[in-house]
Structure 1
Amino acid sequence: MTQMIQTNTQAKASPSGRFGGVNLKPMKTKQILITLLFFTSTFLYAQTPKFQWVKGGGSGGSATNSGLMESCKWINTDAHGNIYGMSSIFDVGIHIDTSLHTNGFGNDDFAVFSYRCDGSLRWVRYFGSTVNDEPNGMFADNEGNSFIAGQVWKPNIYEALHYGDSVLQPGASFVPLVFVAKIDSNGHTVWIHFPPLSAVQSGGYFLSIQPDNQGNVSLLAKLNGAGTWGTFTIPSKGYYVVKFDKSNGNVIGLTKLDFNYKGVSLLGDNLTIDTDNSIYLNCGLGHPDTLLVGNNIITCENDSVQTFTIIKFLPTGSVSWYKPLKCNGLAGQWRSITSKPIIKGSYVYLSGDANNNLNFLGGIINNPFINYSFIKVPLVICLRKDNGNFVSLNHVYNREYAEFNTLTSTSNGIVVAGASAVGFSGNDVFMYNQTDTLKPTSEINKVFPFVLGIDTALTHFNWGIATRVNSADTRIEALAVDKADNIYAGGRFSDSIYNSFGSGIGSQGGPSDFFIAKIAATNNCGCAVAQTFPQFVSLNNNVLIVKGTATGVMDSLYWYWGDGSSTKYLTQNTNAIHTYTVGGNYSVSLRSYNYCGTKDSTIQITGVGITEQELKYLAAYPNPVSHTLTIENPYQSSMQFSIYSITGKLLYSHPYQSYTTTIDMSPYEAGIYFVEMKLEDGRKAVRKVAKE
């Protein structure tokens, strides 16, 4: 069931200056002393990124549903440099950047928000009801549409359900708690899709959401009932990838994956779709449990054993290959995968951690600096995507606790992010490449977030940057990269977090708050839209011919004809032809698209005429004309006569009543003109006249 949404709701204005920046007055009153103490790296790298800005928000409440935290676990960018994120939000004292939303809808809600690349807030939208609601995943496309999977509970028919700026009012029939929704670039809800109750009753749920190779929505879901979803049959219980049409939310595909759990699933937001629609999953397995992968069985014998398995499925849902990774933390044999797979070229990249001196899917961990044998070493591994075979591995050199939580790719490398702790000695060092150091100041017992860049061969970490916190619980849990290779990180903090220049944001009073940060060489968005130059060529009744050029880097050029239609302009400075179905005057634009935005240049086309047999006796002669133009109107109706230049500029207009009218054309320069003859009933004809 897809509900299309039409709304004119706009975001309400909110007090500014209440969250972010040095003039910080968080709801949990405390003074933050801003000092210029930030982390540096001894490794000098051209254009080393910094934390250019840090923004965020939170509430004064705590989660009702165990496991939820206020943390930006999803972050995306569009082709225009805007950033989109999502976080759980708890009931009281909600404060997101400059947007104040005093209280939530009740208990656990969640928020979707958008920032510009300079760190200014664009909009915030809230999802929830009076009970416990939960986000399950999101992604944004190049146009800035956000696609969201989540849970909004409806305990009875008397509850209103909030989906961004769309509200299902009390009294509406019962709907499933899980949904998929589309929000446009301005934050307005476009459609909401609810699954059939039979598919998700008795424990069905949504897990992750990603785009396929056509930009349509791919949803990883556990379906617990047989039946149908749209026109597709659900043969049995299991894990499915459900595909939705991005434009209207209709179901266009349903694929059952050839794996299952016998007991408790440890799946999360770990779905990745490749360009050929192959499916990659990172599957956790814990407790005494069994994972079925195709015809193969993976077991965990007891509570101390876990297994992490990376699986590649063909688009049909059958297993292409899988790689299990068994760990036993009590026996010093810890190995885990901590990120969803990232695909770049012919390879799969994953982050993880392991105890020292272990084999990790073919790569060996060797950290001579580690203080204790139980400390885990964060790593990045590369596998071949055709067969899962090991290619390369690299890891950092930590003395105390450190972890990688997520990774993504840039145009020429891999970016990985995590957190590291400062032990009570205050002398702990976090190193990469054995010699390049990220070391906090003297603050002890704090967990600081960091981001590292590494080449695709995983031979060398190219740069590293961390930032100052006053927090024992800080994590980067999401990464995104825009077209200019600016990096955006999302996560959580518990007290305060700062950019690389000393400005910070503080807690809203709850156990954790969320943040997003820009990591880049400068905060200059580097945006220059491509300039366009349209040119009129000719107009013959209703057939318009134009051409144009553009300067600068662009993704595409389009002609917008002013009648609701558009045409992609493939080759500059060639004729583009458009035929109108309704006469009139039109604003015709040549629009460029690139990473920085759009640019329109417009010309006015006046006097588009639709040839009508009944007006064939309206005459303008001689043509060409030197001095006097004669107009004949045999239709016994008054007429408005107008002259336009070839660029569409109105030069002359006057009403006439007589059968024959003469116009003095001698003041006009030689060239092409359009004369419009419009009768009082609205019918008109346009003639092209040459002036000698």
Structure 2
Amino acid sequence: MPLTKYPPTVEWGTPLDRTAGVRVKQDQTMPRAAGSRATLLVAILATVLSATATQAAADPMLAWVRQVGTSADDLGMGVSADGLGNVYISGYTYGSLGGPNAGGADAFLTKYNAAGTLLWSRQVGTSANDYAYGVSADGLGNVYVSGSTWGSLGSPNAGSNDAFLTKYNAAGTLLWSRQVGTSADDLGMSVSADGLGNVYISGYTYGSLGGPNAGSYDAFLTKYDAAGTFLWSRQIGTSGDDRSLGVSADGLGNVYISGLTTGSLGGPNAGAYDAFLTKYDAAGTLLWSRQVGASASDISYGVSADGLGNVYISGYTGGSLGGPNAGSYDAFLTKYNAAGTLLWSRQVGTSASDESYVVSADSLGNIYISGRTDGSLGGPNAGGIDAFLTKYNAAGTLLWSRQVGTSGDDRSLGVSADGLGNIYISGYTQGSLGGANAGGYDAFLASYGEPILATSPAGGGTLQFGYVLVGQTATRSLSATNNGGVGSQLNGTFPAASGEFAPGATSAFGPLARGAGASRNYTYTPAARGADSLSVTVTSDDGNSTLALSGTGVAPQQQTTLLSNAGLVRIGTSGAAQIRVTNAGDGNLSGLGAVSNLRGDIALLAGSPPEFTGGTAVNLADGASQTYTYTYTPTAHGPQQATVRADFLNGSSDGANLPEILDVIISGQGVGPVFDSSTPPGGTIDFGAVILGGNALRQLAVSNASTDPNGGNPALTNLTLLAAELSGPDAALFSLIGFSAGTVIGQGAASFFDISFSALGPVGAKSAVLTLTTDEGAPFGEQGATFAFNLTGLSVPEPATMGLLLGGLASLARRQWRRARAA
């Protein structure tokens, strides 16, 4: 059966005309209350649905319903949310909704805020019939309305129906109106502002608007700029019936139109009416056209581009487009990518008639279709025809379906998701959806509030604990907020944590009203140094948000290194053994306070040889090092060692930030010269009897008997003869020959010199002491040990003198012997 070319006149149950989404006959007029044309009463009712509709009260997502009408017929056709918290509905009225009725049907535009408060209503018309079908808010504070007029709204009527486009600002001021037409019928069915300052209207014409007419109705697309300047018009058609019923600009410079054709626009006709989708660029160049259908009628009313390169069309089919037909007409939704590739198609229906008239893709990846059902799509049918709203995700999964209605006729002809959790449907009702029916058909606007889960950190983000000392605990808060629509409530569950993160159990939250939030504290207690991460998911009835818990365990970490032993140390001097302690934290301890310092003591263990001395406390910041010196002062030849104990209060070397005790062995070896002489020190060098006036010599050999290693440094073991001193009563009779102060004697070497005794009077025994000063037991070349030798000699007379002396002595001895015997 052919579709009418006229705006809607009522006959339910026959093929559909998009102009009102109702069944029509050309020879009928829209029923209206008798005598109401001159004195129609505005009845704008702002009552939430729960006050008047039992079915709405049972739907927790339905935030509010507003019903507006007069005693005549008032039909809501299109709806557009501006993303700024406002929503507009367009339609037509036979009464006075926003001003006095100019005659017949007048177009109207009504603005609400997100809470459902009516802000203003505007009515525009001529003495003829003027129908508003499409509405589009540009997000910049402006709103556009498209439709058809038998009169002159923007310029003289070209004949029959002309398409029109009207622009209002946010205050409801009419900025301009444009009218385009031919002598035949031209209807502007849909409008889309691209957010770039341009606006597109699409519809169908019996004449030539953008090219020669191909036969019967052709689809057209016309572009204006923000000032209302006509930029271009395109016409597409076949010899059959081709109508564009929807238009959507993607904000990327492209625009799509959808509709119906009995010909072949994008492929061979499958039978009866097929749905089509055509893409143009900003210059009006046709990029591609696609056609989809079954052997029965398939009609696309709505089209919506998601701004991500995808486009969706919705409508209804008498066949099977996305699944088996449930009976009569089923609603369908089909997704294409930017290249025109069909990605998926979904079909939803009951055994009765189910028709989708509009589609809206939001910025969150969701797609909504709405329309009418004679069955039960989202709840029990309230009687007759109900409006429905169905949600899909980007993958084509049906998420939910809602149904609203009265015992009368209720249809949704518009849907708009604002990306803020509010989904609006518009249409008309014979009953009372949002207030008492004013008479005939009333326009309605319903707002559904979806919860939107927003976590902080956001999904895909990280709850960062930062750097935490091993063994200590840091706390961070994970929050969930309902950023959804008016009336929405969010329920969900905070996840359990594990490992170094806690708590280990889930925790439910909600219901959270719009704007309300909940939070939960998580802790991080690292057991060792290094990064830790855990993926967790906050679940909710809006979906899930997966994020990471992340932290890094840091700790002071002792690194104790023996830098050097004392090595070979000459007796009488001091050497040093050195130990370096480093706080090898990973450079991330700053700001964590003194507790992050490496603390403890490093000292010689009790019982270590007294030749080693040293020890102090350790208190090192992150990355700092300190060298600890232990002095070694040997007093004897040979190796020695001592134990240094590092007793750390924290900063264990395994990164666990535990106490740790570490013993380090340090060592040294006492070396030096060993004095030796041909006459042992303390011995006597005897010169015997020397005739008066004579001299006697004796040789003294001094050697270095050291066998110590010197590591290539002879100064460690060389012996230096620093001085020689003669003392005693007869020191003047002795002298040294060949002695040189400062003589250095290497290991195994010797130095020789003579000692002279001069026999001077008087006759008798003579004595003295020779003292040698060396650097043994002292730094090389410095005064050290001394060694003494006794020197003895006898001064005797000449030999003749000696004989007389001896004879006299013998005679004296004999006389004494005789006396003794006589006695």
- TM-score tier, shorter chain, comes to 0.3 to 0.5
- Could you state the TM-score of these two structures normalised by the residue count of structure 1? 0.45
Considering Cα pairs closer than 8 Å and 6+ residues apart, tell me whether 1 or 2 has the greater RCO: 1
